[in-house]
Amino acid sequence: MSAMAHEPLTQEEILLEGFLALGTPEGFRAELIEGEILVTPPPDGEHEDYISLIVEQVFARSAARMQFSGNKGLKVPRGGLCVRNHVIPDGTFAPRELRLFREAESWMPCEGVSMVVEVTSTKPDRDREAKRHCYASGGIPIYLLVDREKSSVTLFNEPERADYRESVMIPFGKSIDLPAPFSFTLETADFL
């Protein structure tokens, strides 16, 4: 009997294999978004300050106890504009009782994640569009975008296919109500 022939890899499978084998310098992030490998340098201090201000409020005020990760990779399923994306949000929140991060491999599925947070950096349109579509495709209930260029915070919720059905944008300095399971008003006065 002859050995069974293997199907040749598709271009997408080759890209994914190359991406997963990629070694990035310490502190850098590599993501695969809409067929493009993106490597970003470590964030600046202002970027980290926004994340810290959000994490502090979630831990102090959220109706549900949350876990946080600032570097957990998410595998986004196929669908919508996203094709085999591997995305690293600036912040990922999940209910503590699920303990999602404990057993997770480098790239975990989106199931159980309550909210992701992005702070715009050198390519803000990636956060405004591509990542938003990815998170919606992954069924992540809440996407919070801190847009430094526009001095605003946008809350996206109610994912449907490759986008969110609802969004609310506020300027820095105003407050915004985070829906359940967080159920508190996020203050942004310190963002100014």
pLDDT of residue 82 exceeding 90, the answer is no
pLDDT of 77 reads: 76
Return the higher-pLDDT residue of 15 and 4.
Answer: 15
Region 10-16 average pLDDT: 77
Q: Which residue type occupies 143? A: Y
Q: Which fold has domain 44-191?
A: tt1808, chain A (3.90.1570)
**Least confident segment among 22-26, 131-135, 174-178:** 22-26
Give the per-residue pLDDT at 151. 98
Q: Which of the four pLDDT bands, split at 50, 70 and 90, describes residue 48?
A: very high
In whole angstroms, give the CA distance from residue 129 to residue 19: 22
Average the pLDDT over 105-122 and give the result.
94
CA-to-CA distance for 16 and 3, rounded, in angstroms?
26
Least trusted range by pLDDT, from 83-92, 108-117, 125-134, 183-192: 83-92
Is the predicted pLDDT of residue 129 greater than 50, yes or no?
Answer: yes
What is the domain partition of the chain in residue ranges?
44-191
Query: Could you tell me which of 185, 139, 182, 145 has the C-alpha nearest to residue 164?
Result: 139
Average pLDDT value for residue range 49-54: 98
Give the per-residue pLDDT at 78.
64
Q: Is the pLDDT of residue 146 over 90?
A: yes
Model pLDDT, residue 184: 98
Q: Annotate 86-140 with DSSP letters as a single string.
A: EE--SEEEEEGGG-TTTS--SEEESTT--EEEEE--S-HHIIIIIHHHHHHHTT-
Q: What is the pLDDT of residue 4?
A: 56
Closest residue by Cα to residue 149 from 130, 177, 169, 175: 169
